[in-house]
Amino acid sequence: MSVDTARAAVPETRRTAARRVSSSLSARPRARLALLLAAPLTWLVLVYVVALAALLVSALWTVDSFTGEINRSLTFDNLKEIATESLYRTVTLRTVGVAVLVTVVDVAIALPIAFYMAKLASQRMQRILVIAVLTPLWASYLVKAFAWRSVLSDGGIFQWAASRIGLDTPGYGLTAVVITQAYIWLPYVILPIFAGLERVPNSLLDASGDLGASTWQTMRTIVLPMLTPAIIAGSIFSFSLTLGDYITVNIVGGANQMLGNLVYTNVGAANNLPLAAAIALIPIVIMIGYLTAVRRTGALENL
């Protein structure tokens, strides 16, 4: 028996619904793009834009203190209050101060560790260190904060160790908050700096040395400029996370309040959501200011 090869044609494709959609989309790039972006954009709008707008609008509401009912007529009373009352200025300055200190401490600790990890450690050592840096992230935030509460308490480990060199525990207060926050956010600062240092080619360092630059000069003129975006990325983490924190302050902060606590008490104790929303705008404004300043330096483009 012979096969009629001339007639063995390719079977015609079946016209399924999926195929029709696919072929019509291939002809319409705009529809394709719209479909692709619809889901993530809806998410973005709902979660970020609507939430932010809701925050802005509810800051203009007021609340009936006795019944707790929200009065939805718009007024600027809350914003005026946070702008004029000295309480909010004091707490804002305190919060920003703590956030700056935490960031400075974290960067100061992260730089040498990241440099060692990226440039000096052996492959094996590097892997061990990356794991060591990441491990604390597996433990709950609360557990870490409460651990510091017991470390810093009267008669705790810190006091025991510090007494040997003639020091005392700082006790619960802002120092304790800075220590605890610096500890909790440290991995978020080390990792971007480590990644940034890995991208600095060793050949550049060698060339700099060959051309007679001292170690310090190499650091200052080669490494640091290339590293600035990474440092800023890390600082955004530690700064913004500290800015919004209220749990650590509650646990180790003694009688101190930060912006987060004011939001928390206004939501929880005072049942004044509009005022809480108004206070929540303060860290948002600060972060927008910070990010704008960072953007001017051009650091964000190099991320």
Partner 1 sequence: MRITTRKRRAAGAILASSALVVLAACGGSDSGSSGKAVDKLGKTEGKVSILAWPGYVEDGSNDPKVDWVSAFEDKTKCQVTSKTYGTSDEAFNLAKTGDYDVVVASGDLTARMVASKEAAEVNTDLIPNYAKVYDFLKDQDWNTFDGKHYGVPHGYGANLLMYNEDEVSPAPTSWSAVFDPAEMAKYKGKITSYDSPIYIADAALYLMKHQPDLKIENPYALDEKQFNAAVDLLKGQRKNVGEYWSDYLKEISAFETGDSVLGTTWQVIVNSVEKAKVKAILPEEGATGWSDTWMISSKAKHPNCAYKWLDYIESPKANAQATEYFGEAPNSAEACDFASDPSFCDTYKAGDKDFASKLWYWRTPVAECLDGRKDVKCMDYSEWTKAWTEIKG
Q: At what angle do helices 174-198 and 86-115 cross, to 10 degrees?
A: 40
Single residue of 65, 84, 221, 297 touching partner 1 by CB under 8 A: 65
70 binds partner 1 (CB under 8 A): yes
Give the range of 60-68, 123-131, 182-190, 287-295 binding partner 1 by CB under 8 A.
Answer: 60-68
Residues 71-110 that bind partner 1 (CB under 8 A): 72, 85, 87, 90-91
- Pick one of 31, 52, 288, 303: the residue that binds partner 1 (CB under 8 A): 52
Asked if 156 interacts with partner 1 (CB under 8 A), we say yes
What is the number of residues in the chain? 303
Q: Dihedral of the CA atoms 246, 250, 252, 257 (nearest 10)?
A: 70
Instruction: Considering the complex, state which of residue 6 and residue 255 has its C-beta at the smaller distance from partner 1.
Output: 255
CB of 169 to partner 1, least distance (A): 10
Subset of residues 258 to 277 that bind partner 1, contact rule: CB under 8 A: 262, 265-272
Q: Minimum CB separation from partner 1 for residue 256, in Å? A: 8
Instruction: Determine if residue 210 is left, alpha or beta; phi over 0 gives left, psi from -120 to 50 gives alpha, anything else beta.
Output: alpha
Give residues 8-37 in contact with partner 1 (rule: CB under 8 A). none
Q: Where are the beta strands (DSSP E) in 199-238?
A: none
- CA 101 vs CA 157, 181, 294: distances in Å: 23, 10, 18
Q: What single DSSP character describes residue 3?
A: -
Query: CA-to-CA distance for 16 and 181, rounded, in angstroms?
Result: 58
In this structure, is the dihedral angle defined by the CA atoms of residues 292, 259, 57 and 41, taken in order, positive or negative? Answer: positive
Asked if 45 touches partner 1 (CB under 8 A), the answer is yes
Q: Site for partner 1 (CB under 8 A): which residue of 34, 38, 50, 293?
A: 50
Residue 257 binding partner 1, by CB under 8 A: yes
Interacting stretch for partner 1, rule CB under 8 A, among 8-16, 96-104, 118-126, 247-255?
Answer: 247-255
3-state percent helix, strand, coil for the chain, nearest multiple of 5: 75, 0, 25
Look-up of token digits 């794991």: 131
Report CA dihedral (293, 298, 302, 303) to the nearest 10 degrees: 10
Q: Candidates 3-11, 99-107, 238-246, 253-261 — which segment interacts with partner 1 by CB under 8 A?
A: 253-261
Tell me which residues touch partner 1 (CB under 8 A). Answer: 45, 49-50, 52-54, 57, 65-70, 72, 85, 87, 90-91, 149-150, 153-156, 171-172, 253-255, 257, 262, 265-272
